[in-house]
């Protein structure tokens, strides 16, 4: 069993930055990767994948966030951070971290990000 908890959301002006954190607990050694997904105005019915970091630290990004978002991990603290720069109004939404272990899908509760002037 793994538990994930997001934090760090809030209100920021366009062009600003936010740092989200995903804290993992439980059987963290079994986590193969952590994804960040988001539910935005343009993806209301399904979560949009944004970024991934593997257990080895390899990173992947969606085209919509490439060059603006950076995903990193701190294994001592069992956290994964999503640094979001140059935020746009279209980035507004609820951000979730996720992992899949065997046939089980684990989600956090989400954290709200609002990009508005």
Task: Tell me if 29 sits within 8 A of 95, measured CB to CB.
Answer: no
- At 67-90, the pLDDT tens digits run 999 999 998 999 999 999 999 999
Q: For all residues of the chain together, what is the average pLDDT?
A: 96
Residue 96: pLDDT above 90? yes
Alpha carbon distance 99, 4 (integer Å):
9
Q: What pLDDT, on a 0 to 100 scale, did the predictor assign at position 72? A: 97
Q: What pLDDT, on a 0 to 100 scale, did the predictor assign at position 42? A: 86
Residue count (the chain): 117
């Amino acid at each position: 069993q793994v538990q994930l908890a997001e934090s760090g959301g809030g209100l920021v002006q366009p062009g600003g930055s936010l740092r989200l954190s995903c804290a993992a607990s439980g059987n963290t050694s079994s986590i193969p990767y952590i994804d960040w997904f988001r539910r935005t105005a343009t993806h209301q019915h399904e979560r949009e994948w944004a970024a991934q970091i593997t257990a080895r630290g390899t990173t992947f990004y969606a085209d919509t966030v490439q060059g603006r978002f950076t995903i990193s991990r701190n294994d001592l603290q069992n956290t994964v951070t999503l640094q979001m720069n140059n935020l746009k109004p279209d980035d507004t939404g609820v951000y979730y971290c996720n992992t899949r272990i065997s046939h089980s899908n684990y989600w956090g509760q989400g954290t709200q990000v609002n990009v508005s002037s």
